[in-house]
Every structure is written in structure tokens, then in C-alpha cells.
Amino acid sequence: MSILENNNALSQLIADIAEVAGHIWLKGWGERNGGNITVRLTDCAEPDWADLPPLTEPIPIGAVLPHLKGHYFYAKGTQKRMRDLARAPMRNGAVIRITDDCAHYQIIADSPVKPTSELPSHLMVQNYLVGSGSRYTATLHTHPIELVAMSHLTRFQDSDTLTQTLWSMIPETLAFAPLGIGWVPYELPGSIELAQATLAQIHDYDVTLWEKHGVFAVGQDIMDAFDQVDVLNKAAVIYMSARAMGGEPEGLAPQDMKDIQRIFALPKTRIN
Ligand SMILES: [Zn+2]
């Protein structure tokens, strides 16, 4: 029996995760087992989840995350493909519960699919989100082609230049990614240095670009996290297309962007 049975809220949430995994594959952002999704499920947990027999011994997280005690997450499995997750989310990921010592997790459903090695960095960000009272539940790592291409160009290797360039491509980029985009210089994938540098950026940004690698995004739910990456990557595609036509794109005028921020009352910091 699946943990999804008789839980419509959870079933919808897992269906959204599967849909996003499919989008990521079709966009070419998720080659092989590339990318990761972690979503906090606590809001749709049933009271009896606490009594579900764990499918594994406690597995160390590698960090003590005091705000995550008793929280539940869906986590993509190690070596699992986004395109497979899109078809069968519960065979390519698992539901985990953080143990009372806040330093371990146990898999509780549907089967013992071990989470990705990127789980500790995702949980560190989740710990920050819960601790700061945020309603954000989703963390996403993926490899959007054009944003990664931009990260190779030294003139774009800071948050302000990246943000202003992307915002100036079409008004919707500013409207739907109003916090802009953070920047993390190259670090070894899966390293604690990369996790800590990402966490520092997530204080201010919903989407952070990792040099020569990919993005890490947070959102109220997985659709929100995906949408923000999609909006920012669309701007990168427009920039690249204009360059391919032979010139530097003019970009929206600074005053036009200020007007959009003012008239639409766009937030400059994360609201919740
Ligand atoms: Zn990656």
C-alpha cells in the first residue's frame, strides 16, 4: 500500500513533483541522474505517520538541523533520473522523517529508496527556511542550459550584473523573479563549502546560480521553485538569441524597470 492512498493533498503534491521532473527532462536540464528535488511534506502528513515503522535504520545527515525535528520530506533517490521520477515518483524517491536528535533521518515510505548525496545541502536550506518562519517548502537543483552557459562568462560572475541583465530582457522576468538571482563561485559538487555558500545566498535570493554547474532554487512549492528558474532561464535564452543575431541587446531602460517595481509593488526581500 502506498502512503499516497487516501491522502489527496499528498497525492497532488507528489503529482506536482512528478510534473516538474518531466518538465526538467524535456527542457534538457536533467541529463542522466542530474538534479535534485526535496519538498517538505509536514503540512499534509497524517497523524499516524509518526507510528509508521521505518524502512531503514537511522541514516546520519552529517549535520544537526534543530528546526527539522519530526518534519517529513520527499527526496529524490540517489542515481535516479528525473525522467523516471516523472513516471514513477514513489519508485524514484522516498518519504523520510527527521529523527528526534535532528541529526538522522529514516525512510518511511513507499520503499527504501536512498536519497541523493545532495540531501544534506537541501536539508540545511530547509532548516533555514523553517527556522526563519518561511512557508517555503521546496528546494530544487537543476542544470538550465543557458544560465549555466552565462555562468562561464566572467562579465556575468556576480549577482548584480546577472540580475540586471536578466531583468532587462522582458518585464515578466522582473515581475516573476523579483528578488533577482544569487551567485556562488565554483565549489566541488556535494561539498560542505558549496552548501554553505548556497545557504548564504538563499537568505537573499530564491534562485542562486552555481558557477559552471547549475542553479539551486527555493519556492513556496515545487511549481513555484521551477517557475522562477524557468523565468530566469527564459531571459538568458533571449539574451543569447539577441547576441546570436549579432549585437548586444539593449535591455529595458533602468527607469522602465524602476517603474515596474513601483507600480506592481514588487517585493525586494522574501515575504514569507
Ligand atoms: Zn548538479
**CB under 5 Å of ion ligand 1: residues:** 214
The Cα–Cα gap between 231 and 167 comes to: 10
Per the rule left: phi > 0, alpha: psi between -120 and 50, beta: everything else, 6 is left
User: How many Å is the Cα radius of gyration of the chain?
Assistant: 19
**pLDDT score at 90:** 98
**pLDDT score at 57:** 96
C-alpha cell at 181: 538571482
Q: What is the pLDDT of residues 165-204, one digit of tens each?
A: 999 999 999 999 999 999 999 999 989 899 999 999 999 9
**pLDDT score at 1:** 85
What CATH number belongs to 144-272? 3.40.225.10
At 95, which helix (H) or strand (E)? strand 93-98
pLDDT at residue 99 greater than cutoff 90 = yes
Ligand 1 mean position, distance from CA 31 (Å):
10
The Cα–Cα gap between 184 and 198 comes to: 7
pLDDT at residue 272 greater than cutoff 90 = no
Ligand 1 mean position, distance from CA 252 (Å):
32
Domain boundaries of the chain, sorted by first residue: 1-140, 144-272
Q: Name the DSSP letter for residue 38.
A: E
Q: Calculate the alpha carbon distances from 234 to 14, 142, 146, 168, 237 in Å.
A: 26, 15, 8, 12, 5
**pLDDT score at 180:** 97
C-alpha cell at 172: 515578466
The pTM of the full predicted model, rounded to 2 decimals, is 0.97
**pLDDT score at 105:** 97
Ligand 1 mean position, distance from CA 216 (Å):
9
Residues tagged active-site? 118
The domain made up of 1-140 has a fold known as L-fuculose-1-phosphate Aldolase (3.40.225)
Q: What is the pLDDT of residues 14-50, one digit of tens each?
A: 999 999 999 999 999 999 999 999 999 999 999 999 9
Ligand 1 mean position, distance from CA 185 (Å):
14
pLDDT at residue 271 greater than cutoff 90 = no
Q: Calculate the alpha carbon distances from 136 to 130, 150, 172 in Å.
A: 8, 27, 22
The Cα–Cα gap between 225 and 209 comes to: 13
Ligand 1 mean position, distance from CA 143 (Å):
6
Q: Judging by beta carbons within 10 Å of its beta carbon (0-12, 13-18, 19+), is residue 160 exposed, middle or buried?
A: exposed
Ligand 1 mean position, distance from CA 32 (Å):
11
Q: What is the pLDDT of residues 214-250, one digit of tens each?
A: 999 999 999 999 999 999 999 999 999 999 999 999 9
pLDDT at residue 85 greater than cutoff 90 = yes
Q: What is the pLDDT of residues 115-162, one digit of tens each?
A: 998 999 999 999 999 999 999 999 999 999 999 999 999 999 999 999
